[in-house]
Structure 1
Amino acid sequence: MTAAERFFCADAARARGDSLAGTAPYGSVWVLVEYRGGWPPNGFDGLDLDPRTKAAVFTAAHAVRARILLIRRHGRHSAAGHRRWAVLRHDDSGGHRQEWGTWSRDQDLAGIVGALDRPGETGGPPVVLVCAHGQHDTCCAVRGRPVGRALSERWPHQVWECTHIGGDRFAANVVVAPDGVYYGNLDAVSAVTAVEGHLADRIHADHLRGYTDLFPPQQAAVAAVLQRFGPAGRHDYTVVGTHRDDNCWRIRITGRPPHPAVVDVEVRSHRTPPSQLTCRGLSMSSAAVYEVTAVSVG
């Protein structure tokens, strides 16, 4: 196969017009492990670490449905010296909590287990994670690394490249944690614009995949409200009611001033025809799409 014939899932998704809204994986806890060497296709699971420590971290993370991500700074860095780990948590009150530590021996990663039992501290700056996991999916490297470079040049202390965060076909993908906001279909220019708006607490609908504390139809509803009424802060809108009838949802959202006080959104779901959704996955799969059919101010 020539380079011109090679399949790239992100190119195919753009050609199909795949919808972004409602595609953020659900979750509220992230475990980050700095690893400067090569990343295995399956990330943390594939690392050759002390078995007891690795099992303890995995078990503790699984208990709270945390996603474990390997991270590294953009560019080439020495594998020597202390590396960092973190537990990031978006709690039910909307608090954004973090705890950071360092490790040089495998056993030092046991600190993650204790951190998963503690609430963490508020007030830390958001962490910007750019998926650049080329061993998992080619598009994550081809599209992710230029975005990682652009964002790292602007915010060198907040930006990390990371392993697979889901939605390869939407590369380049960025998740801001512990805020729990996913962005996709980014390039170097649009990524800087999106993150700049995010850090100013003005989230735009453009490139928004969703908020990770919401389920897909709710994510699509919030994105539609942002598209209709303009950018807003991460917690300016709250989903207060969700009623389902088969493949249709009616979702009520309340807003803080100066945003609309009450907005009702109707969402309908359907599945796409089967297609190849990742670069490496040769099987054909369909994807759920959440289409907003009505937005009305209550």
Structure 2
Amino acid sequence: MEGMSAEQVPDAAPADPYCQDADPRTYPAGRLDEGRCSVQALVAGDSPIATAPPARRWLLVEQPGPWGRDALLQSRFDAEVAPRLAERARAAGLRIQMVRRPGERLSDSRGRWAVADVHAPWVRWSTRDQDADLLDVPLDGSVGIESDAPTFLVCTHGGHDACCAVRGRPLARTLAGDVWETSHLGGDRFAANVLVLPTGHLYGQVPEDGGGLVEAHGRGEVLLPGLRGRAGLTPPAQAAQQFARVELGLVGVADLPVTGARADEAAPDGSQRWTVTLTGPVGEVRVVLDSRLSGEARQLTCAALRPGRFRTWHPVSVTS
């Protein structure tokens, strides 16, 4: 699976049955002009399939107040500790997410932090007295209290992209349960974006009422509309898993674990065929899918300096 960039955002042609509904009446919450990336993505009918980050392990750091473009380094977090924590997390293979309770509830801040592993899956919460404590505490999940309910991280990082703030903040205030605002999750054009821990399922274009997301995960199920993929898996594995879910009607959060993936040689135009194997309820499931670069370059974020191309995913067959 070498050579695939996490920044190459998969898409699907408007005729693809897995594509999102581009009806303007289904726009997520928030008023944005037509030039914004999330509006353009909806109008174009972009599919969010296979766009979850590849990170398996996550470090959540509670930090209320404003965040700049780099939420860790440009916030009220200790400026001397921040770069050292970033290096420590990088060495440990952890992706850092700054989090805060919706509505800037400063009085509710208790210096919480957590480590999550989406493969295990678990998320374990602790508290710190000062930011420097995070330079010494174990980051392997051996400390903390394990959460027994889904945690919902809603991207509201306006310092990174206006779409995330305008779409995400109303959603974060509406969702029930253990809900946090979080820093950049990627895929700004799919705002509002929600990461569900500990399983790592990422959703895009979530409506202000949540669209049944909380209820589905409360039942231990994924919600297929808006599902971008599962963090910790490669893009072809994410796409194959979702195509198989649609074909076989399997929506349990632990359904269809990936057991292998093989790619044919890439063609000169960047297209490539993948074969991904999954474990189904009665044996192996084999998914064949094609990936290729988009025919047109587009503005993938509101802050992008130039248009970019992105990778699209198309199911060929699902057999079991």
TM-score normalized with structure 2 length: 0.81
Residue of structure 1 equivalent to 2:285: 263
* 3-state SS, counterpart of residue 114 of structure 1: coil
Letter aligned with residue 152 of structure 2? V
Paired with 2:51 and 2:197, the residues of 1 have a C-alpha distance of: 16
Unaligned runs of 5+ in 1: none
RMSD: 2.2
- Asked if 1:293 corresponds to 2:312, the answer is no
- Asked if 1:21 corresponds to 2:49, the answer is yes
Paired with 2:249 and 2:279, the residues of 1 have a C-alpha distance of: 15
Paired with 2:106 and 2:171, the residues of 1 have a C-alpha distance of: 22
Unaligned runs of 5+ in 2: 1-30, 266-271
Q: How far off is 1:80 after superposition?
A: 8.2
- Asked if 1:164 corresponds to 2:188, the answer is no
Letter aligned with residue 130 of structure 1? V
Q: How far off is 1:131 after superposition?
A: 0.2
Q: Percent identity?
A: 35
Residue of structure 1 equivalent to 2:279: 254
Q: How far off is 1:124 after superposition?
A: 3.1
Alpha-carbon spacing, 1:248–1:115, altered in 2? closer, same or farther (3 Å): same
Cα displacement string for residues 53-76 of structure 1 (whole angstroms, at most 9, x for unaligned residues)? 323321221013211111111113
Which residue, 226, 240, 258 being the options, matches 1:239? 258
Q: How far off is 1:78 after superposition?
A: 2.8
Paired with 2:146 and 2:121, the residues of 1 have a C-alpha distance of: 6
Residue of structure 2 equivalent to 1:107: 132
Paired with 2:302 and 2:88, the residues of 1 have a C-alpha distance of: 31
Alpha-carbon spacing, 1:43–1:4, altered in 2? closer, same or farther (3 Å): closer
Q: How far off is 1:177 after superposition?
A: 1.7
- Kindly indicate whether the alpha-carbon contact (under 8 Å) linking 2:237 and 2:276 is maintained by their aligned counterparts in 1: yes
Alpha-carbon spacing, 1:192–1:19, altered in 2? closer, same or farther (3 Å): closer
- Kindly indicate whether the alpha-carbon contact (under 8 Å) linking 1:96 and 1:122 is maintained by their aligned counterparts in 2: no
Alpha-carbon spacing, 1:134–1:4, altered in 2? closer, same or farther (3 Å): closer
Residue of structure 2 equivalent to 1:149: 173
Residue of structure 1 equivalent to 2:240: 221
Q: How far off is 1:51 after superposition?
A: 5.0
Letter aligned with residue 126 of structure 1? P
Residue of structure 1 equivalent to 2:151: 127
Residue of structure 2 equivalent to 1:12: 40
Where in structure 2 are the equivalents of 1:138-217 lying within 5 Å? 138-151=162-175, 154-155=176-177, 158-189=178-209, 191-217=210-236
Cα displacement string for residues 209-251 of structure 1 (whole angstroms, at most 9, x for unaligned residues)? 1111211011011111111122422222121221110211011
Q: How far off is 1:122 after superposition?
A: 4.8
TM-score normalized with structure 1 length: 0.87
Paired with 2:132 and 2:298, the residues of 1 have a C-alpha distance of: 43
Cα displacement string for residues 105-143 of structure 1 (whole angstroms, at most 9, x for unaligned residues)? 332333xx5331344565632321000111110110111
